[in-house]
Amino acid sequence: MSEASLSTKVYSLMSVLKGLTEIEILCVNSRESFEENKNHIKALSQKEENPAVKKLLEKDMTHLDQIQVLTATAREFLLIVRIRGMKDKEIFPTSTVLKRP
């Protein structure tokens, strides 16, 4: 996408957001948590007696660490519209404004 096209989209989004006080922006990590898997592999590795299998488990742990480092800055932004407290007749017009391209 060109810089001009991106700039136009950002400006359009800003214009929509300015007019809607009901919108909240939520930023979340989009990466998966590998902690449970890493703990499981660590437990298996501690119990394992076969050196070859133990080495493979250690490689798995290293691989999970690498994936986690590579995705550490991945973020997703969610636009949330709370309709609590809105009357039924207010919900449809608000959703129509949000759907506008």
pLDDT in tens, 10-69: 788 777 777 666 677 777 766 666 788 889 999 999 999 999 999 999 999 999 888 887
Counting the structural domains of the chain, the total is 1
CA pair distance 58, 47, nearest whole angstrom: 13
Burial group, residue 64, by CB count within 10 angstroms (0-12, 13-18, 19+): middle
59-72 tens-digit pLDDT? 999 998 888 877 76
Q: Which phi and psi angles does 26 have, rounded to 5°?
A: -115, 125
Q: Tokens representing 99?
A: 């759907």
Name the residue range of residue 47's domain: 3-99
CA pair distance 41, 43, nearest whole angstrom: 5
Helix boundaries (H) for the chain: 3-18, 35-47, 51-70, 88-99
